[in-house]
Structure 1
Amino acid sequence: MEYHVLIPTDFSDNAWNATVYAMNLLAEEACTFYFLNAMNAKISAMSNMSKKFNEAMSESAIKELRDLKAMAEAAHPKEKHRFEIIFSSESLNDAIATSIKKYKLNLVVMGTKGATGAKEVFFGSNTVGLISKLSLCPLIIVPEDCQFKIPKQIAFPTNFIRPYRAEDLQPLFTMSQQFGTRIRVVHIQEKSRLSAEQRNHYTLLKELLETYEHSFHWMPIYASKTHEIFDFIEELEIDMLVMINYKHSLLERFTREPVIKKIGYHPAVPFMVIPD
């Protein structure tokens, strides 16, 4: 399988750190990495002076993209890895959606801060869009200053509200095969027992994971699911958090928690969002 990976960048250290993580995660895979810088310029409404300023900004961004490509090639000289650049005058969300379709991308990797960071995407002005537009492509959010570690332990929180399909879990299966990853399924118990429907979904998930290293963990509910998940990550030395995005999913409820809206999302480990 050849990977086509999009890395949105504002040329910050945080964006570069996400780049390094992606290159290490896929070190042995054939990959084309696409660096995207989006400026969101509405040229038709601009004055001549604004247009000239916009052109200068565009030229500067394209130069920085070329410099970034050269830096990535020098820092990570792998025969299997190629690098391309994309400059867009669309909004970040629209530019990502356009790139996914145009380049048949199968992964997006981004940092947590800055103009292209996940905090802005999930909790700022971009909140409305990106997750819904990543309908065909997983997203990995890389924390600031995160040092690459092979993901040997993955936390996979679920509420068993809906059945999983094998294709939903393919990114988990792939990592398990590549790295010998153990998948730790986490259920936060909101009630004393599962409903009949939840039990069916639990049984199905157990069958899907049968040939992979895995375990199930049942945790009593705290006031905040966010804190509970973070505690689990710390206690079991989890290397990556993975959630599937669908209506009424744990992820949807997770991002709406008051503590998250108040302080923003500061993950302790890389966070993968798999689209429904």
Structure 2
Amino acid sequence: MLQILVPTDFSNNSYNALFYAAKLFKNKKSTFRIVNVCSTKNDPKKEEAQLESAQGLDALVHRLIRDVGENLNHDYKKISLCSDLSEGIADYAKTNKVDLTVIGNKAQEEVKHILFGNNAMQLVREITHCPVLIVPLEIDFKKVDKLAFTSNYTYPIAEENSKAIIFFSELMDSVVVPMRIQENKGNDTAEKNRTQFLNAIAHKSGKEVELPIFDGKVNTILEFVDLWKIGMLCMVYYPHHFFLEFIGNGIIKELNTKLKVPFLILPNRQS
């Protein structure tokens, strides 16, 4: 049974992520661990916060079942944590051997809530053992025909990450579109990493696309996603390297406001 962690602050964006996950895994036996960080450990009103959190979680699951219907494949566990936001959720995910964490993207009117921007990215940095799926707020659930994976292949793509891409491709009955950033072309190591990855996903893969960088990497990828009608974008998170360009230095704000498809982030695992 899949273990899926969905943090919630009871905002629309976190509910949308939960709704999307429930629809995405409709036919998979899954336990949804819905976690609300309701206070800190030393909060003098901790018990009151936990009670309020438990009531909110009950209402949330009731709303979800009303919206998506009863599903015998799904089990819901409701957890109220008194801890630091990102560390508490990351520790819970690791302790409970979570297979996937699903979080909602922010919206302009929801900046007061905790699960957005830097806090969401802090979860990406700290949840290092499983993929993280970021779901845009205003997205309608629909079939993903094309799952794009982008890399410059500086590092090898771990076998476990290749398997994760194939898993999502089969789950959604979608084709994987390898999208190569035109860096390291001709570099022997990068070419070896690329070849190994393409061989690993060959039975689910479409034609590889090479992206020349004319207007910055973010704009180039966004244009590709739109032009090719990509339904989900996937990358590997490499701390302090390639992927940092997409989550640091303000660029995350651009992706948060412009990327209109779910964003699957794979952890940096050893090959």
TM-score by structure 1 length?
A: 0.87
CA contact (8 A) 1:222 1:228 kept: yes
Return the offset for 1:154. 1.0
Correspondence 1:4-83 to 2 at 5 A: 4-43=3-42, 51-52=44-45, 54-75=46-67, 76-83=69-76
> Which position in structure 2 is the counterpart of 1:184?
177
SS in 1 for 2:149: strand
> Which position in structure 1 is the counterpart of 2:194?
202
Is 2:218 the partner of 1:219?
Answer: no
CA contact (8 A) 1:3 1:32 kept: yes
From 164, 167, 174, give the equivalent of 1:174.
Answer: 167
The CA distance in 2 between the partners of 1:274 and 1:263, in whole Å, is: 20
Check 1:9–1:274 CA distance in 2 against 1; reply closer, same or farther (3 A cut): same
From 70, 88, 91, give the equivalent of 2:84.
Answer: 91
Return the offset for 1:181. 1.3
Return the offset for 1:263. 4.7
The CA distance in 2 between the partners of 1:86 and 1:268, in whole Å, is: 30
CA contact (8 A) 1:33 1:83 kept: yes
Query: Among the aligned pairs, what percent are the same residue?
Result: 26
Check 1:55–1:178 CA distance in 2 against 1; reply closer, same or farther (3 A cut): closer
SS in 1 for 2:202: coil
Check 1:72–1:35 CA distance in 2 against 1; reply closer, same or farther (3 A cut): same
SS in 2 for 1:222: coil
Correspondence 1:138-149 to 2 at 5 A: 138-149=131-142
Return the offset for 1:57. 2.7
The CA distance in 2 between the partners of 1:248 and 1:203, in whole Å, is: 24
Q: RMSD of the TM alignment (CA)?
A: 2.0
The CA distance in 1 between the partners of 2:99 and 2:212, in whole Å, is: 35
TM-score by structure 2 length?
A: 0.88
CA contact (8 A) 1:157 1:250 kept: no
- Counterpart of 1:38, as a letter, is V
Q: Deviations over 1:13-35 (max 9, x none)?
A: 11111111001110000011111
Q: Deviations over 1:237-271 (max 9, x none)?
A: 0000101112455322222355x156562321000
Check 1:270–1:116 CA distance in 2 against 1; reply closer, same or farther (3 A cut): farther
- Counterpart of 1:265, as a letter, is N
Unaligned runs of 5+ in 1: none
CA contact (8 A) 2:125 2:239 kept: no
> Which position in structure 2 is the counterpart of 1:107?
100
CA contact (8 A) 1:119 1:264 kept: no
The CA distance in 2 between the partners of 1:165 and 1:98, in whole Å, is: 23
From 124, 142, 145, give the equivalent of 1:131.
Answer: 124
The CA distance in 2 between the partners of 1:179 and 1:166, in whole Å, is: 20
> Which position in structure 2 is the counterpart of 1:244?
236
Is 2:256 the partner of 1:265?
Answer: yes
Return the offset for 1:188. 2.1
CA contact (8 A) 1:176 1:183 kept: yes
Check 1:178–1:131 CA distance in 2 against 1; reply closer, same or farther (3 A cut): closer
- Counterpart of 1:91, as a letter, is D
Stretch moving more, 87-96 or 19-28? 87-96
Q: Deviations over 1:117-173 (max 9, x none)?
A: 342325xxxx5x422321111110000111112222011110010112321212211
CA contact (8 A) 2:131 2:266 kept: yes
CA contact (8 A) 1:221 1:228 kept: yes
The CA distance in 2 between the partners of 1:208 and 1:264, in whole Å, is: 29
